[in-house]
A and B are shown apart, each in its own frame.
Chain A
């Protein structure tokens, strides 16, 4: 990995104030929690749904609440993973979200990562969400991309682009709860580095789904450590990565079945153009007592140029005997028959290709269950496709 840049200083009141216009217009995200350079900014955040309590990581650590502190340092991942160790050492702040048992909100809580302008720098945050038993909640993470302001010079913007984000989210999903998580790792940071860790433990009978849309950074790593803690839980982890140039995106998964009767589905798709590299390493671990586990993992990559590359490393570690587990990986180009069929109907090659690529990504976006978010994702996919090099360059 590239070297970590110097850590950014905690934002001052004036810097936070300067971001206010971005969050005070009518179209601003509702139910939002804003981290500025990794530090929780209540001034920029808005009201939470009923039954949801939010504090900064710093205040929770000061309070010394042992239950939350234990969750903030999960045994299944910390220590084993260098990125998490780095995050533990350097985390500046974050949010702690407690969702009361039985609380419900159909609209997502938006966790927004904003940055102040300045020289190349790194920011580290660690957040926790505790979803109480039987609660039903959505959490949507996204990167706040600031519009250029008149008083900012071009070089200021360039520096703004050289950011490193190391964010970690820990989720504890209670019995019978439903937790739907999405993250859009999108926004123009050609030289940027983004490393997101998601550590989830899933209680009995709970449902945990996560979706990631990844575009537009130099180096991206997304890692998920997930454990089925109680029986009868279900989970679907999905992601779409769109990469070009010399971008590199890595999805690393460890799904541990520590309880019986759980069903886990993982499907990650990549569209790789130019000299981009995709990585998928997924590991399913089935503990001896996790009988009747139903686990399936799949990665699918579309390579749009000869110089793009996809690396797959699926692993199964199964210690129970009555389980259904499988993993697979496909990579290749677009289907020539489909392209030809569309062309014979009058669609120029580039348009036929775009239609198929949109459909490839759209399969996962359609299943999001949040139409607003789905539309945002679709338009981001379209925007990415519209920036493709004209046909003939690769074909």
Chain B
């Protein structure tokens, strides 16, 4: 079903076909989820992403590590569709769909989810009201029927319990007055409920205590599936002990400068990012 959808989309919306030779092959094998090609992004005239390229395959967990200010959050925001960045050139393709042409909510409806580095407080909007609105909005976009209230309640309660979110938090305004860790859990709760096909986690581990880290990692691990990809942005090897990545990418100065297996994270833990900032020959863009 999905394969047919992907191919149709590539053919109908993204000519010329020849540019997609390699993508086409991956798609036919149903392996490619996210493809970022030579993305150049600036804000206020300052270049932040510099010819950034990255691919994540179906079912893969990819980690991005990199120094402060490297552009990790910017990449996440641009994939999700934040407006204040200027995309000068490049492409972001998810499941064969050109994301850059879509509104953030349309991207979400196509299965994208971003867990924010700093989840936003929404005063006056009850968490439950919000969860129901988002779930039904996405279902509507996909042509599915709205959830019945009991069905919705059952799903929320189940997911909240697994993530150690107390019922009284669900009654409060979204994220308002939540501790840093509580906000992160709330984002993961949304991820669990929305069942996206591609999840970006921007430093979801920062601000979490050790127990919460395990709970959140479990939340992610239970979602790991052949047709679901993850892009996990983190500064710490510790998270990757719990969410073991298939690939690790190093981002510096607005681009991916090195990619490798999970052992790359351990190496970074020892040697830091100095190499990647000073020696351009290391770059594997």
Contact = CB atoms under 8 A, between A and B. Distances in A.
A362 to B, nearest CB: 5
A349 interface: yes
A344 B81 contact: yes
Given A341-B116, A346-B141, A359 B123 contact: yes
Contacts of B163: none
Contact of A349 (B105, B121, B133, B173): B105
Contacts of B119: 341
Contact of A345 (B83, B103, B108, B173): B108
Given A349-B105, A351-B137, A355-B130, A344 B80 contact: yes
B122 A340 contact: no
Interface string B55-87: 000000000000000000000000011111000
B75 to A, nearest CB: 14
A24 to B, nearest CB: 36
Contacts of B107: 344
A342 B194 contact: no
Interface string A338-372: 10111111111101100110111011001000000
Contacts of B113: 344
Contact of B133 (A338, A355, A360, A362): A355
Contacts of A352: 105
A360 B135 CA distance: 22
Contacts of B104: 340, 343-344
A147 interface: no
Contacts of A359: 122-125, 173
B125 A346 contact: no
Contacts of A362: 124
A337 interface: yes
A344 B125 CA distance: 16
A343 B103 CA distance: 8
B259 interface: no
A336 interface: yes
A356 B122 contact: yes
Nearest to B126: A359
A352 B122 CA distance: 11
A342 B129 CA distance: 12
Nearest to A343: B104
B284 interface: no
Contacts of B237: none
A346 B83 contact: no
Nearest to A357: B124
Q: How large is the interface on A (under 10, 10 to 19, 20 to 34, 35 or more residues)?
A: 20 to 34
Contacts of B109: 346
Contacts of B190: 345
B194 A345 contact: yes
A347 B123 contact: no
Contacts of A349: 103, 105
B134 interface: yes
Contacts of A345: 105, 108, 130, 134, 137, 190, 194
A343 B105 contact: yes
Nearest to B108: A346
A356 B124 CA distance: 8
A340 B83 CA distance: 8
B113 to A, nearest CB: 8
17 contacts: A340-B82, A340-B120, A341-B116, A343-B104, A344-B80, A344-B81, A344-B105, A345-B105, A345-B190, A346-B134, A346-B138, A346-B141, A347-B134, A349-B103, A352-B105, A355-B133, A358-B124
Interface of B: 80-84, 103-105, 107-109, 112-114, 116, 119-125, 129-130, 133-135, 137-138, 141, 173, 190, 194
Interface of A: 336-338, 340-349, 351-352, 355-356, 358-360, 362-363, 366
9 A-B pairs with the lowest CB-CB distances in the bound complex, closest first = A359-B124, A343-B104, A346-B138, A346-B108, A341-B120, A345-B134, A346-B137, A343-B105, A359-B125
